[in-house]
Amino acid sequence: MIKAQKGTKDILPKDSYKWQFMEQKAIEVFQNANFQELRTPIFEATELFARGVGDSTDIVNKEMYTFEIAERSLTLRPENTAGVVRAYIENGMHRLPSPVKIWYKGPMFRYERPQAGRQRQFHQVGVEMFGLANPAADAEIIALAMNYLKALSIPNLSLEINSIGCKECRNGYRENLKKAIEPELDEYCPDCKMRFEKNPLRILDCKNPKCQELLAKESIQKAINEEFICPDCVEHFTEVKKYLDILGIDYNVNKLLVRGLDYYNRTVFEIKSNALGAQSAVCGGGRYDGLVEMLGGESTPGIGFAMGMERLYTLMPEITEPSIDAFIVTNFQEEAFKLSQKLRSEGYAVDFDLANKKFGKQIEKAGKIGAKYAIIIGEDELSSKTLTVKNLATSEQIKIAKDEICTKLK
Ligand code: ATP
Ligand code: MG
């Protein structure tokens, strides 16, 4: 028996209608805000992620699906911001009217230890907006994330925001933090020891309980809470919060929130659900004003978010599973063929028996698959050019002229 690979899952027909619902809502919500879909390839040059995600991140260090083919190093995309930025640059999208507003969905790949809320192939839906550095853009993106989650009717979510400053002021903050951590550095986990040199801010969101404990100490808290960001960044963040207040969006400022990727600056945010256990984040996002330039484009500010669809799926309330409109019940298969073709072309979901089953079995099947109506064609109906339509929920039955069927179904 060949089995699905560890960390991958089939999305079965009994679940796929919910996935389609999530995708449909993404189209509605994002396109109502004038975002357009961009579909990028699933594999890219490894270099794109090494540079675009950053080589001090867990993603690049430990989680990449990298393979070599024809002496080229390729990687299955672990996230999609780098790919979207590559496509933006490569296709000259900076010439489009600003801001350029993109949304995407699709599978992502990370070689992580599979566990609840963590797969090796998972799906994200996300948006990116290019061309605006002002705080209104940050608020618009956060509001869009909240709107999407609202459209899915997911309850009890909390939004956390933070500003991690800009390239300039972050240096001072980083040094401060390093000074506060250094005396006890030996006690941190090996990952954090490495982060200490490469990307000390990432120590703040280490999931290791021992590290969390060390970070809760007063000396560290002081280093985090001191207003470290420059006046421009403070003002930017104040404005973002002002817009969120105007929009009636609740948030908590979390000074420990830094986000995993190297390229973020200023606003970072995360949306969490306490119904998810350890992997509680459904959405992560932030501003990345240096990324386009870093990947070879013209200097262009950007901001976006990505949501994990598997985690959204587990939080989704029940929705009605769509059922087919009608099942045709007849021993005259030719009639069933003709009528099903006609009804399907009119937009109705219709099925019928292809296996010459007995009449009674067909009626049974119509009920079992949850059809709304059975359309019955017996000898009588055939000779009188009529159809018997049975409402399978109420068992009510009426006879109609054959060519009335579309108006009756409507
Ligand atoms: P985490 O701290 O959980 O590892 P992350 O920082 O790696 O999160 P992002 O890169 O920000 O996550 O991805 C955005 C979202 O994608 C996450 O909030 C989560 O919902 C989802 N996600 C990330 N990795 C996985 C995975 N391996 N399996 C399922 N969903 C994932
Ligand atoms: Mg991760």
102 has which bridge partners?
36, 128
> What is the predicted pLDDT for the residue at 163?
93
Indicate the top mutation candidate among 119, 124, 268 to test ligand 1's pocket, ranked by most ligand atoms within 8 A of CB.
124
Phi and psi torsions of 356, nearest 5° = 55, 45
119 lines ligand 1 (CB under 6 A): yes
Residue 331 burial (10 A CB sphere; 0-12, 13-18, 19+): middle
* pTM of the complete model: 0.92
Over 90: is that where the pLDDT of 302 sits? yes
Dist CA 182 CA 220 (whole Å):
10
36-37 β-sheet, strand order:
36-37, 100-109, 121-130, 302-308, 281-287, 265-273, 157-163, 252-253
Per the omega criterion (within 30 degrees of 0), is the bond before 114 cis? Answer: no
**Structure confidence at residue 29 (pLDDT):** 98
Share of the chain above pLDDT 90, in %: 78
Q: Decide whether any atom of ligand 1 lies within 6 Å of the 310 Cβ.
A: yes
Tokens describing residue 104: 């995407």
pLDDT tens-digit readout, 335-347: 999 999 999 999 9
**From the CB of 281, is ligand 1 less than 6 Å away?**
yes
Length of the chain: 410
Whether the pLDDT of residue 371 is over 90: the answer is: yes
Please state, as a whole number, how many other Cβ atoms lie within 10 Å of the Cβ of residue 35: 22
- The mean pLDDT value of the chain amounts to 93
C-alpha to C-alpha distance for 391 and 396, rounded to whole angstroms: 5
The pLDDT value recorded for residue 56 is: 79
- Token pair of 242 as six digits: 């002002």
Residue 262, pLDDT > 70, answer no
Ligand 1: does its nearest atom lie under 6 Å from the Cβ of 60?
A: no
Atom of ligand 1 nearest to the CA of 205: 2
Q: For the residues 190-194, what does the mean pLDDT come to?
A: 89
Whether the pLDDT of residue 278 is over 90: the answer is no
- β 302-308/281-287 pair status: antiparallel
Cα dihedral 291, 144, 92, 287 in deg (nearest 10): -10
Whose Cα sits closest to atom 9 in ligand 1? Answer: 284
What pLDDT, on a 0 to 100 scale, did the predictor assign at position 95? 96
Alpha helices in 91-199 (DSSP H): 135-151, 167-181, 190-198
pLDDT in tens, 4-17: 999 999 999 999 99
Per-residue pLDDT tens over the stretch 40-75: 999 999 999 999 998 878 899 899 999 999 999 999
Which is it for the CA torsion 112, 117, 119, 125, positive or negative? negative
149 near 158, Cβ under 8 Å? Answer: no
Ligand 1 atom 23 nearest Cα:
308
How far is residue 80's CA from residue 73's CA, in Å, rounded to a whole number? 18
Give the span between the Cα atoms of 153 and 320, in whole angstroms.
Answer: 14
Instruction: Tell me which of 278 and 35 has the higher pLDDT.
Output: 35
DSSP state of 200: G
- Nearest to residue 403, comparing CAs of 331, 336, 343? 343
Ligand 1 contacts CB of residue 118 (under 6 A): yes
Which atom of ligand 1 is found nearest the CA of 118? 28
Torsional sign, CA 169, 173, 179, 185: negative
In this prediction, residue 276 carries a pLDDT of 86
Candidate from 24-28, 58-62, 86-90 with smallest mean pLDDT:
58-62
Q: 149 with 155: CB under 8 angstroms?
A: no
Closest CA to 388 of 335, 312, 318: 335
| pLDDT(396) > 90 | yes
Residue 404: which of 352, 351, 369, 384 has the closest Cα?
384
Could you tell me how far CA 43 lies from the centroid of its own chain? 18
Q: How many CB atoms lie within 10 A of CB 352?
A: 21
CA–CA separation, 315 vs 179, rounded Å?
41
Q: Is 284 in the pocket of ligand 1 (CB under 6 A)?
A: yes
Indicate whether 30 pLDDT > 80.
Answer: yes
Question: Where would I find the beta strands (DSSP E) of 164-264?
Answer: 252-253
pLDDT computed for residue 200 by the predictor: 87
Q: What is the pLDDT of residue 131?
A: 98
- Residue 222 is predicted with a pLDDT of 80
Q: Give the residue among 193, 180, 183, 191 at the shortest CA–CA distance from 228.
A: 180
Backbone phi, then psi, for 190, in 5-degree steps?
A: -55, -40
pLDDT grade, residue 260 (50/70/90)?
low
Percent of the chain scoring above 70 in pLDDT: 99
| Helix 167-181 × helix 218-225 angle, to 10° | 170
Average pLDDT over residues 141-161: 97
Average pLDDT score over residue span 208-221: 87
Confidence of residue 308 (pLDDT cuts 50, 70, 90): very high
Q: Considering only CA atoms, which residue is closest to atom 11 of ligand 1? A: 284
Structure tokens at 190: 């090996």
> What separation in Å is there between the alpha carbon of 107 and the centre of ligand 1?
12
Res 238 pLDDT > 70: yes
For residue 402, give the nearest of 387, 391, 389 by alpha carbon: 387
pLDDT reported for residue 401: 93
Does residue 82 register a pLDDT over 90?
A: yes
Identify the CA nearest to 393 among candidates 373, 379, 410, 369.
373
